Amino acid sequence: MAGQHPAIARWVDEISKLTTPDRVVWCDGSEAERNRLIQESVAAGELIELNQQKLPGCYLHRSATHDVARTEHLTFVCTREKDDAGPNNNWMSAADARGKLSPLFKGAMKGRTMYVVPFLMGPAGSKFSKVGVEITDSKYVVLNMRIMTRVGQVALEHLGSSDDFTRCLHSLGDLSPERRFICHFPEENTVWSIGSGYGGNALLGKKCMALRLASWLGKKEGWLAEHMLILGLTTPEGKKHYITAAFPSACGKTNLAMLVPPPSMPGWKAETVGDDIAWLRPGDDGRLWAVNPEAGFFGVVPGTSRKTNPNAFDMIQRDTIYTNVALRPDGTVWWEGHDDPAPPEALDWQGRPWTPASTEKAAHPNSRFTVAAAQCASISPEFENPKGVPIDAMLFGARRQRRVPLVYESRNWQHGTFLGATLSSETTAAATGKVGVLRRDPMAMLPFCGYNMGDYFAHWLAVGAKLAKPPKIFRTNWFRTGDNGKFLWPGFGDNLRVLKWILERCDGTGEVLETPIGCIPTKNAIDRKGTDLSDEAMATLLKVDPAEWAEAVHGQEDFLSSFGEHLPEEMREEHADLANRLSDAMTPADLRGRDTGH
């Protein structure tokens, strides 16, 4: 029982005095608890029961209309020194943040129930794993935490008599963006979040603990917390590899993590270890090992179909919490990109009547499913392995309509770190703000790195230096468009064609063409059997235009300088080397790169 753990009991007591709930409920992760919470949520209108014949165990939650995405401008890293948070974070001094938030938490749970949720991030019995305790006044948050993390006894056992756990305090407050703050106190291993019920702001095990605070801990303890999927791939010859991939929010990590090999690539097997977060540690064997700290998936719903992601589509047919999708008259759900055509009538994500003639979307573009990893047909047998899985390749991907080729390979770990550091992507609906604007998103971690990113790049280099057999690092872009504005690359299951080349490179084969930015596949190195991809499309997908790139490199200067003294010298070196290689290539003879075979 969590109530018997002295440090937890003391903290809960302190927070009860501050927030004055009517009732305190200690959560144990049991089925009885789930059933009770669901019943109460349905009675309170916080969950809508869906058609239990067609979608057993599934419920719909509609959030407040102004609380549907992460609010990065209200998210703070609260350290003593501003410099420790870096130019990549909003900063408040820890003392100011406490001063500002304490009055908001004061009495915030009056008339409400306070839930105490002990949870474990990472497999039971793993040296990777970390314990958190979330205090919240939201039943929806408890129900989601029970899916996304390992709740109850398993966490308490891992903690033992230690008081080393992350203190995660959450209250819905009045849900007003005016009084919404998500504050991280890395020096005290604590998060305070008030005024939002949205996943990334309220399920504090996920972005707040497993990325922002964990990245800080990783820096201290010699490991990495990354915004990466983890995927196992077995070749037709039976050789097994694991890769990780960092893409910004809503750029297809869940789809790639659950990839189904196309019929024209028989014998391949893909297994999901994680879809959003990887914790990575150098192993005694000089390789980099990864675990997924989460126990479930909190995925973007629109665009999920039997065609795009059959594993995801199948796993969300039962025991799933849907947030902000449309409701059909028969008590089933619908969203843009569903296999079924638009229903003649439905209720939209806000519960308003909707028809195909409506000008607004039926489901919110950032509507989500929450589902246990165990329900995924492609879940890896290594998912619960406390040792993790050894990583052969790491991908940095982004959404870029122009300039960036389908795939290219870094020269080494340091150059790979530079590729990650200079990642930029067109924005999506996962965060509040304009969609489709180009923004820098180093390692897809801009919203999630809990400390100065200059120091973070240095930490990447330090981790690499400990690896005798580092993963190879690649950059990918599934989103390049042709002159007609349409995507050139088929994506989804066909992404395996790119992964195949990447694994060949890891095994020392795979044909490459050297370019100033790194090695790209030769025209026929990507397996196109069974597709209708033309030579011409392939040439555009792989095109590297040195003049265009020289411009991009120029644009990186201000960004790199923004880290001042914190930027490692090696990143400046990589930047200068790239600029030199590009200017050399800008002679006509070199414009198309030199074929060096492999």
Catalytic residues: 251
What's the min distance (Å) between Cβ of 430 and ligand OXD?
4
Residue 276 in contact with ligand OXD, rule: CB under 6 A:
yes
Residue 430 in contact with ligand OXD, rule: CB under 6 A:
yes
Residues 70-89 that bind ligand OXD (CB under 6 A): 70
Residue from 26, 298, 349, 369 that binds ligand OXD (CB under 6 A)? 298
- Measured from the CB atom, the residue of 367 and 380 that comes closer to ligand OXD is 367
- Measured from the CB atom, the residue of 200 and 310 that comes closer to ligand OXD is 200
> How many residues sit in the footprint of Mn ion (CB under 5 A)?
2
What is the spatial distance between Cα 235 and Cα 238, in angstroms, rounded to a whole number? Answer: 5
Q: Which does 70 bind (CB under 5 to 8 A by kind): ligand OXD, Mn ion, none?
A: ligand OXD
Helix (H) or strand (E) holding 539: helix 535-542
- Measured from the CB atom, the residue of 479 and 501 that comes closer to ligand OXD is 479
Q: Which does 365 bind (CB under 5 to 8 A by kind): Mn ion, ligand OXD, none?
A: none
CB 301 within 8 A of CB 369: yes
Q: Which does 216 bind (CB under 5 to 8 A by kind): ligand OXD, Mn ion, none?
A: none
What's the min distance (Å) between Cβ of 205 and ligand OXD?
12
What is the spatial distance between Cα 178 and Cα 200, in angstroms, rounded to a whole number? Answer: 18
b/e code 526-543 from CB counts within 10 Å (16+ = b): bbbeebebeeebbebbbb
What is the spatial distance between Cα 234 and Cα 232, in angstroms, rounded to a whole number? Answer: 7
Q: For the chain, how long is the longest CA-to-CA vector? A: 76
What is the spatial distance between Cα 479 and Cα 491, in angstroms, rounded to a whole number? Answer: 8
- Measured from the CB atom, the residue of 26 and 198 that comes closer to ligand OXD is 198
Cα-based distances in Å from 428 to 247, 275, 393, 433, 436: 12, 17, 26, 9, 6
Q: Taking CB positions, which residue lies at the least distance from Mn ion? A: 276
302 Ramachandran zone, left/alpha/beta (phi>0; psi -120 to 50) = beta
Residues 215-274 that bind Mn ion (CB under 5 A): 249
Helix (H) or strand (E) holding 574: helix 569-585
> How many residues sit in the footprint of ligand OXD (CB under 6 A)?
7
Nearest to 324 by CA among 334, 312, 311, 309: 334
- Measured from the CB atom, the residue of 249 and 308 that comes closer to Mn ion is 249
Residue type, 39: Q
What is the spatial distance between Cα 180 and Cα 171, in angstroms, rounded to a whole number? Answer: 10
Residue from 200, 205, 262, 516 that binds ligand OXD (CB under 6 A)? 200
What is the spatial distance between Cα 129 and Cα 255, in angstroms, rounded to a whole number? Answer: 26
Residue 276 in contact with Mn ion, rule: CB under 5 A:
yes
What's the min distance (Å) between Cβ of 221 and ligand OXD?
24
Scanning 84-92, 105-113, 276-284, 539-547 for contacts with Mn ion by CB under 5 A, the matching segment is: 276-284
What is the spatial distance between Cα 82 and Cα 277, in angstroms, rounded to a whole number? Answer: 26
Q: Which does 298 bind (CB under 5 to 8 A by kind): Mn ion, ligand OXD, none?
A: ligand OXD
What's the min distance (Å) between Cβ of 26 and Mn ion?
30
What is the spatial distance between Cα 450 and Cα 208, in angstroms, rounded to a whole number? Answer: 9
What's the min distance (Å) between Cβ of 189 and ligand OXD?
22
CB 517 within 8 A of CB 550: no
**Cα torsion angle, 447, 448, 449, 450, sign:** positive
> Token match 């297994």: residue?
271
What's the min distance (Å) between Cβ of 298 and ligand OXD?
6
What's the min distance (Å) between Cβ of 565 and ligand OXD?
30
- Measured from the CB atom, the residue of 156 and 453 that comes closer to ligand OXD is 453
Residues 524-553 that bind Mn ion (CB under 5 A): none
What's the min distance (Å) between Cβ of 184 and Mn ion?
16
Please tell me what DSSP assigns to residue 343: P
Residues 162-221 that bind Mn ion (CB under 5 A): none
- Measured from the CB atom, the residue of 274 and 470 that comes closer to ligand OXD is 274
Residue from 126, 190, 249, 556 that binds ligand OXD (CB under 6 A)? 249
* Residues making contact with Mn ion (CB under 5 A): 249, 276
* Residues making contact with ligand OXD (CB under 6 A): 70, 199-200, 249, 276, 298, 430
